[in-house]
A and B are shown apart, each in its own frame.
Chain A
Amino acid sequence: MSDQNQLITYAFVALIVGAAVGYLAAGPITYNQKIQDLQNQLAEGGETELTGSLSIAGSTTVLPIAQECANLFMEQHLKVDVSVAGGGSGAGVKSAGSGEVDIGEASRNIKASELLSYPDLVAFSVAKDSVAIIVNPENSLSGRLDLTLEQVSEIFSGEITNWNEIGGPDHEIEVYTREEGSGTREVFVDYAMDGKEFAANAGVKPSNGEMRAAVASNQYALAYVSFGYIDDTVSAASINGVEAVVEKVNNGQYPITRILWMFTKGMPYPLEAAFIEYVQSPEGQAVVEDLGYIPIY
C-alpha cells in the first residue's frame, strides 16, 4: 500500500518538475507569437520551408548546370534533396513526359513527334549555348585553326580526310561524333553539316565528356562539344574567322547558337517551380556563366 502511494507521489513530483523545466526551456508559446513569426517571415519575403526530393535527368550538356545549381539549392534548402543524372536529350524529354523524373533537360528544341507523345510538357529556357569544334592543344594548328562552315561539313562528312588539306601535318583527321539522338549532334547537323551525312568511320562517343577526353588524348582528333565543356585540355577552333567565345555568340557573329531547356509534366509543382526559378535567377545564371554557357538575359 505505502509503496504504491510513494510511487504516485514520485510520479506527480516528476510530472510537475518536467513540465516546469519544459516550460522554461521552450519559453512561453502563444498564438500571438506564431502569428508574429509568420508576419516576420512574410516581411522578409521568406516562404514556408521547402521540403521533398527532386529528380532531374537528360542532356549531358545541361547536366553541369543542373548539378551545380542543385548543390547550391540544397545548401539553401536543407530539407530538399535533388538528384541529377545524365541520359541525353531524348531521355530527358521522355522521362519528364512520362513522369519518371520531375524535371527533364534537353539541349535541343522539342520535336513535333515528342509533343504528340507528351502534349502536357511545359518547357523553360535555362541557358543559351553553342557548339565548338575542338582540337588537341598539341596539334600544330591548335590556337590558329580557322575553318569555314563548308570545310567543317567536308571534314565531318569525310570529304576532307587529311590535316594537310587544311594546313596541318600529313596525317588522317580522326573525326569523332556524338551518337544518334544527341541534342548536341542534332544542333551540329542543323548548323554545320549542310545536309551531309557523317563519315562512316567517325568514332561515336556517347557524351560531351568523352568527346573532350578523346580529343585531349589524341593530337590528330577533331570533335565538337558544348561550350560548357571547353577547358584547358582542348583548344576551340574559329569558324569563318570568328573565335568560339561567348561574346561572339551573343553578338551573332559565331554561327551556331541554341537554347538549353528544362521540362516539367504539366505546370510545375512548387518545389519544381522553385528550382527552375532558381536556375533562371541571377544567382543561377551566374552559375551558367561560370560554367562557360551563356545566360538567358
Chain B
Amino acid sequence: MRTGDVVSKILFLCASLSAVIVFLITAFLLREGIKVLTPGFLLGLTWSPHRGLFGIFPTIVGTLCVVAGAVVIATAIGIPSAIFLSEFSPFWVRNIIKSSVEVIVGIPSVVIGFFGLTVLVPFIRNQVGGRGESILAGWIVLAFMILPNLITIAEDSLRAVPRSYREASLALGATKWQTVRNVVLPSASSGIRAALVLGVGRAMGETMAVLMVVGNPETPWIPTGVLDRVRMLTSTIAIEFSYAEWGSTHQHALFAIGVVLFFMVTVLNFIATFVIRRKNIQ
C-alpha cells in the first residue's frame, strides 16, 4: 500500500508537469503579448515594424487560405486512401502503403521545405506562372505534410467500425460499396472529422516548410489569387524573432502573434475533442 502511494505520487508529479508547462507557456505568451493585442493589431492591414505598424489581418487571412487549401487537398487524397486501405486493400498492399505513409511522417519538415523550394517552386514558376513562391506551393507542401496523419487516423476510425455492422449490411444484400458508403462511413464520420480538425491544427502550426515556399512579402496584403505570396503567422515569428530588439514593441507584437496562433490551434483542438466525445456518447 505504501509503495503504491509513493508510486502514485510520482506518477501524479509527472502528469502535472505537462499541465504546469502548458500553463507557464500560456501565461508567458500572454504577459509578453497582451500589450499589443488590440483590435487594431488583429484587424490592421499593414505589418511594417520599423514604421511602428503592427497589423496582422493579411497574415491571418494568408494563413487561413494556405491551411484551408492544404486541408482540402489532403482530404481529397487522404480520405479515399483511408477507405481503400481499410475496406478494399489486400493485406500485402496495405502493408506497403501503410509503411510508406509512416516514412513520410519521419521526414523533417525542413527537408520537405527544401524539396518544395528547389523542385516545386521552380516548377510552378515555369509551368503555372508568377514567382513560384505562392499560396499554391504552400498548399502542396502542407498537404503532403498532413496527409500521413490524416490517412492513419481516418483509417483507424474506419477499422474501428465493428465487423458485425458490415456483416449485417452484406447479409441484407448490399454490395461492398453500398456497405462502405451507407454503413461504414457514417459510423466512422466523427473519427474522420476529428482527423481533419487535427490536420488543420497541424497545418496551422507548421513553420519551416511553408516558410520556405510561400514567399513572405515585405508587407503582406490580403491575397487575391493562388499565385499570390503570403505570410504565415508562424513564419513571421520565425523570420523576425531573432532580429527583433529585446523588449521592443516589435518583439511584443511577435509574442502577440504567438498568442493568436496558440488560441486558434487550441480552439481547433477543443473542437476535435468535442467531436470525438460526441461519437463516444452516441
Q: Which A residues are within 8 Å of any B CB, using their own CB?
A: 87-91, 94, 98, 111, 113-114, 117, 174, 177, 179-182, 197-206, 213, 217-218
Contacts and interface: CB of A to CB of B under 8 A. Distances in A.
A204 B245 contact: no
A177 B125 CA distance: 19
A179 B211 CA distance: 13
Nearest to A181: B243
B215 interface: yes
B229 A179 contact: no
Nearest to B247: A117
7 contacts: A91-B242, A177-B218, A200-B221, A201-B221, A206-B238, A218-B122, A218-B125
Contacts of B216: 203-205
A181 B215 contact: no
Contact of B243 (A89, A198, A213): A89
Contacts of B118: 217
A90 B217 contact: no
Nearest to B248: A113
B243 A204 contact: no
A180 B244 CA distance: 8
Interface in B91-122: 117-118, 121-122
Contacts of B242: 87-88, 90-91, 181
A90 B51 CA distance: 17
Contacts of A111: 245
B131 A204 contact: no
B205 interface: no
Nearest to B238: A206
Nearest to A198: B218
Interface string B208-231: 000000011111110000000100
Given A117-B247, A180-B50, 19 more contacts: A90-B242, A90-B243, A91-B242, A94-B246, A114-B245, A180-B244, A181-B49, A181-B243, A181-B250, A197-B48, A198-B218, A201-B218, A201-B219, A203-B215, A203-B229, A204-B218, A204-B239, A205-B216, A218-B122
Nearest to A87: B242
A197 B131 contact: no
A203 B217 contact: yes
Contacts of A202: 217-218
Nearest to B220: A200
B239 A174 contact: no
A202 B131 CA distance: 11
A161 to B, nearest CB: 13
B167 interface: no
B242 to A, nearest CB: 4
A180 B49 contact: yes
Contacts of A197: 48, 51
B98 to A, nearest CB: 36
Contacts of B238: 206
Contacts of B117: 213
Contacts of B50: 180
B215 to A, nearest CB: 5
Contact of A182 (B133, B220, B221, B243): B243
Contact of A179 (B51, B219, B221, B239): B239
